[in-house]
Amino acid sequence: MVRGYRRLAGAAVSLAMAGTLAAASLVTGAVPAGAAAPASAGHGEYLVFHRAGGQAEALRAVRAAGGAVAAVDAKLGYIVARGPGAAFAERLGASQAVIGVTGNRKIGATTALGAATGPATAPLSLTGPSALPAASSAASGAPAAGPSAKGAARGADPLSGRQWDMKMIGATATGSYAKARGSRKVLVGIIDTGVDGRHPDIAANFNRALSRNFVTDQPKDPNGKELDGPCEVKGCKDAADMDDDGHGTHVASTIGSPLNGIGVAGVAPNVSLVNVRAGTDYGFFFLKPVMDALTYAGDAGIDVVNMSFFVDPWTFNCTSNPADSKADQLQQSGIITGVQRALDYARARGVTLISALGNGSSDLGAPTSDKESPGYPLGKERERTIDNSCLNVPAESRGVISVSAVGPSKRKAWYSDYGTEQTDLSAPGGDPSDEGTSLKGTAREILAAAPAHVLRREKLIDKSGKPTGSSVVRECHHGHCAYYQYLSGTSMAAPHAAGVAAILISRFGKPGKGGLAMSPEKVERMLYATATRVKCPASGSTTYTVSEETHVCAGGPAKNGFYGHGMVNAYRAATTRG
């Protein structure tokens, strides 16, 4: 999972560690929701969420508190306002019409792990992508064998032999690829740090026309600490086919890299991939871009979205934690409310919602402590005592299918969050510490496409293009090379489920907006019905110890805290009669 990209949270870990939303309905005369009201000293921009039917009262509250209205979003029920700091937010909270008040600033993270250490090592902070960095070990750096047209015709790509994850779920030449590869009419949205739409193992399936970028990169945080670095383009808004992090590209590749005789193949190699970017280069996710991305997905006819991130700055959002100030409580309430409304909007328009569960190595049904919040601005984290009323968003939001991660032996990955309430499905996410198979080191992680410029920046390939370690694989033919990276995390697990959902929609969807359509309720039922049931470990109900904490698997084969309703199964999805 991604969060602040370089930490964990439900998306994949940043590449650096890898060595590891639709237009709003505006009030007449208001500026666009994405624009700022005229700046004034000491004023900040806020998203003010109001109760149904409470817009007029909330507008009066904004003005009474000394604020100015910039815009109103009637779709999701919030006001964009400017006001004088935290005191402004607390004054708004006194209104019966106001549910939450959240600063409109960079918040969020990806779901990837930040270190390739085993369970004996405490997990990194959960503020980055949901992918874990690949284990580092020496490598020759030699290119992989060139692609073979015959191999592609047989339903395999040159690096398919390294994709243990696809074998685990039946996405192989003799498995699902021979039965159903998905349809170009099925649109899969990647809400992430971007997608490298020019990567040779993504380009054929990349839908540039529908792709959007809802974020503006932020070179530094309010304290002057570097975040995204220098802007590459004027206005700091990257093109819709760019990914300066790599997390989103890896996710997209796992979902739908084509069977084209190049590199790897995705779960559904014939679907259309749509970049619906809501994360910055560093991997932080603003609340508003996340809402905008989900709203756009609903309006654009996208069938499935993959969310390998959590919205920050809070790993867990608590609406009434006594350890938090009133302003902090209102901010967390705003995040829960705003994301849920955006999810409901998208799901009501046919979008199946898939999320990484998280890399906190904890039981989300019984959380006791949050040491990672608030994750923005950098360095503001403090330890809080929490309980199960606090939510990880969007993994614990309603209507979302949340996915835990397993390693190559099918053991729950040491870093993966779990819980009988929260885990809906499981899927391969990689685990460097999983010694249950003959695989070693990076081979225990998930291999997928990576942007060359990101690898070069992170010194994972040298000036000549040669990989500097085993976490990166170069595959060349006809003088052109493409790059792939091993990563681990629940960020890597979720896209396997998104790909299987795309196969089901390709087979059973009906003509609809954008191509094919299928109700999220039916997709969810079929995902569960086609999953491979996995029992809790036989040795009692416990597995292994992580940082002196014992992970306990509760429940039976039909539904348990480690595997949910089971492991996603592409072959069964490709062959079920419905």
**Contact (Cβ atoms closer than 8 angstroms) between residue 241 and residue 275:** yes
- Helix 490-508 / helix 520-530 crossing angle, nearest 10 deg: 110
Q: Check 95, 183, 361, 491 and give the catalytic one.
A: 491
**Contact (Cβ atoms closer than 8 angstroms) between residue 124 and residue 7:** yes
Instruction: Record the tokens describing residue 527, joined without a space.
Output: 């995902």
Instruction: Specify whether 136 is catalytic.
Output: no
**Contact (Cβ atoms closer than 8 angstroms) between residue 134 and residue 487:** yes
| 3-state SS, one letter per residue, for 86-97 | HHHHHHHCCCCC
Phi and psi at residue 529, to the nearest 5°: -70, -30
Instruction: Specify whether 247 is catalytic.
Output: yes
| Neighbour count for residue 562 (Cβ, 10 Å) | 26
Q: Check 73, 157, 165, 192 and give the catalytic one.
A: 192
Distance of alpha carbon 7 from alpha carbon 163, whole angstroms: 25
Instruction: Specify whether 404 is catalytic.
Output: no
Measuring CA to CA, which residue among 158, 254, 246, 169 is closest to residue 205?
Answer: 254
Dihedral sign (CA 268, 491, 516, 276): negative
User: Which DSSP category does 295 fall into?
Assistant: H
| Neighbour count for residue 356 (Cβ, 10 Å) | 42
Half-sphere exposure of 471 (CA within 13 A, CB side): 28
Gap between the terminal Cα atoms of the chain: 31
Measuring CA to CA, which residue among 529, 527, 525 is closest to residue 500?
Answer: 527
Residues contacting residue 140 through CB under 8 Å, at least 6 positions apart: none
Q: Check 43, 50, 199, 247 and give the catalytic one.
A: 247
Strand pairing category for 187-191 and 272-277: parallel
Cα–Cα distances in Å, from 144 out to 84, 147, 508?
58, 9, 38
Instruction: Record the tokens describing residue 162, joined without a space.
Output: 């390294």
Measuring CA to CA, which residue among 569, 572, 549, 552 is closest to residue 560?
Answer: 552
One-letter amino acid at 294 equals L
The catalytic residues are 192, 247, 491
